[in-house]
């Protein structure tokens, strides 16, 4: 059986994946196994992945699914070993090891595989299997780590300076339009930042003013959704201009009248409500400089993951708003997929002394 090809098929469901404890036991026989080392990092990494893949799938083959969708274009950033949802890396010599993950932020919620059974495999679900190779070209130790563990122990992965984008699949879009909207309440904001009262926007308040409190997403939904569905954006405008038109419509329905200091393209668009407004008339949405895929502090109370997003799903032919998405940034990736306009890598240095501590062992999040 060609285990490498079999390893490229996703599991039927998450429950058939080997647990961390099972992975530890299954990989123990590989300690001391010789691996051909060429000095070419790509070749050596591929050889290690083949050893791990062949060994794991010869001991246990999680049931595969034939109904799935790889969401990122050209499978960019998706791990090669999908059946156990694992990324493998080879560690050799030096004072530190530079862990490089291509085309995804490892510790972010971002759909990589849609299993079509209601479950998704996220970037943060990938298990990292790092093999330390000794001077005799033998596997000295294997450390299995989760992205969350790596960031908690060694620090966050570096953020690439590239334009961030979001993909909303046709299936997701159709489901949202069918339901009219997708509204997910604020989940990580302290209660004192949320105003549940029928708040009136003063005439002298601008959408760019810093907020003391903001309306909950549920209240914004009540105020604007029914009024925006069916409205049309001007299809002769550029994407940026359509976004500004939508921003103006949203602000008006929320009660803002002072637009003189608005619409200059800051982040988020309606800062007084910490609300970022986007138009989606094609599968890809440009998020710009800031993306919830990478958590960054925006002001004292909000990060890119607590900023609220309003995305209008519009008809590309006539500009009609067919559906709305409203949710905090941290929920975006759980339903949709982050990508970039060009390839990128996230990096995290790990001291070699960390690997030296586990000679002769297979460990998980030690």
What length does the chain have?
A: 366
Report residue 7 as tokens.
């390893």
Strand partners, 363: 143
Of the pLDDT bands very low, low, confident and very high (cuts 50, 70, 90), residue 4 is confident
DSSP structure class, residue 360: T
- What pLDDT is recorded for position 289? 85
Show Cβ contacts of residue 21 under 8 Å, excluding neighbours closer than 6 positions.
Answer: 364
pLDDT, tens only, 307-334? 999 999 999 999 999 999 999 999 999 9
Q: Are 94 and 115 in contact (CB under 8 A)?
A: no
Nearest to 13, CA basis, from 81, 75, 85, 102: 85
How far the first Cα of the chain sits from its last, in Å, is 34
Task: With both helix axes pointing from N to C terminus, report the angle between 239-254 and 217-228 in degrees, rounded to the nearest 10.
Answer: 110
Q: What percent of the chain has pLDDT over 90?
A: 77
**Helices H, strands E: what count in the chain?**
9, 16
CA distances from 100 to 50, 103, 156, 159 (A): 19, 10, 12, 12
For residues 139 and 35, what is the distance between their CA atoms, to the nearest angstrom? 7
pLDDT, tens only, 78-126? 999 999 999 999 999 889 999 999 999 999 999 999 999 999 999 999 9
For residues 2 and 138, what is the distance between their CA atoms, to the nearest angstrom? 24
pLDDT, tens only, 148-206? 999 999 999 988 878 889 999 888 999 999 998 999 999 888 888 998 776 778 878 88
Q: Are 87 and 29 in contact (CB under 8 A)?
A: no
- What pLDDT is recorded for position 331? 95
What average pLDDT does the chain have?
92
Nearest to 122, CA basis, from 172, 158, 71, 73: 71
Q: Are 93 and 44 in contact (CB under 8 A)?
A: no
For residues 366 and 41, what is the distance between their CA atoms, to the nearest angstrom? 26
pLDDT, tens only, 216-268? 999 999 999 999 999 999 999 988 889 999 999 999 999 998 665 555 668 99
Q: Is 49 exposed, middle or buried (0-12, 13-18, 19+ CB in 10 A)?
A: buried
Q: Sign of dihedral through CA atoms 134, 140, 145, 151?
A: negative
Report residue 24 as tokens.
């530890």
Note if the pTM is more than 0.85. yes
User: Where does 78-189 have alpha helices with state H?
Assistant: 147-154, 170-179
For residues 138 and 313, what is the distance between their CA atoms, to the nearest angstrom? 54
């Amino acid at each position: 059986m060609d285990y490498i090809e079999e390893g490229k098929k996703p599991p039927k469901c998450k429950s058939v994946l080997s647990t961390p404890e099972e992975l530890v036991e299954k990989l123990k026989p590989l300690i001391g196994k010789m691996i051909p080392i060429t000095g070419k990092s790509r070749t050596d990494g591929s050889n290690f992945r083949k050893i791990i893949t062949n060994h794991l799938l010869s001991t246990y083959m999680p049931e595969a699914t034939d109904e799935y969708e790889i969401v990122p274009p050209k499978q960019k950033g998706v791990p090669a070993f999908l059946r156990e949802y694992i990324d493998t890396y080879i560690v050799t010599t030096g004072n530190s090891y530079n862990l490089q993950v291509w085309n995804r932020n490892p510790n972010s919620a971002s759909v990589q595989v849609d299993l079509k059974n209601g479950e998704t495999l996220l970037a943060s679900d990938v298990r990292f299997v790092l093999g330390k190779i000794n001077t005799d070209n033998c596997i000295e130790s294997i450390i299995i780590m989760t992205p969350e563990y790596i960031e908690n122990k060694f620090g966050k992965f570096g953020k690439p300076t590239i334009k961030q984008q979001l993909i909303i699949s046709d299936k997701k879009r159709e489901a949202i339009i069918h339901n009219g909207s997708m509204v997910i309440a604020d989940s990580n904001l302290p209660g004192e930042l949320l105003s549940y009262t029928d708040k009136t926007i003063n005439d002298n308040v601008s959408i760019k003013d810093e907020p003391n409190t903001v309306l909950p997403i549920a209240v914004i939904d009540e105020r604007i959704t029914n009024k925006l569905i069916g409205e049309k954006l001007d299809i002769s405008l550029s994407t940026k201009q359509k976004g500004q038109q939508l921003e103006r419509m949203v602000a008006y329905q929320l009660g803002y009248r002072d637009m003189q200091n608005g619409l200059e393209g800051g982040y988020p668009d309606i800062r007084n409500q910490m609300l970022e407004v986007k138009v989606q008339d094609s599968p890809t949405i440009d998020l710009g400089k800031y993306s919830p895929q990478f958590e960054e502090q925006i002001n004292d109370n909000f990060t890119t993951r607590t900023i609220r997003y309003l995305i209008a799903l519009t008809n590309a032919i006539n500009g009609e708003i067919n559906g709305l998405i409203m949710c905090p940034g941290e929920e975006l990736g759980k339903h949709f997929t982050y990508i970039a306009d060009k390839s990128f890598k996230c990096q995290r240095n790990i001291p070699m002394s960390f690997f030296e501590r586990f000679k002769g062992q297979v460990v998980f999040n030690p």
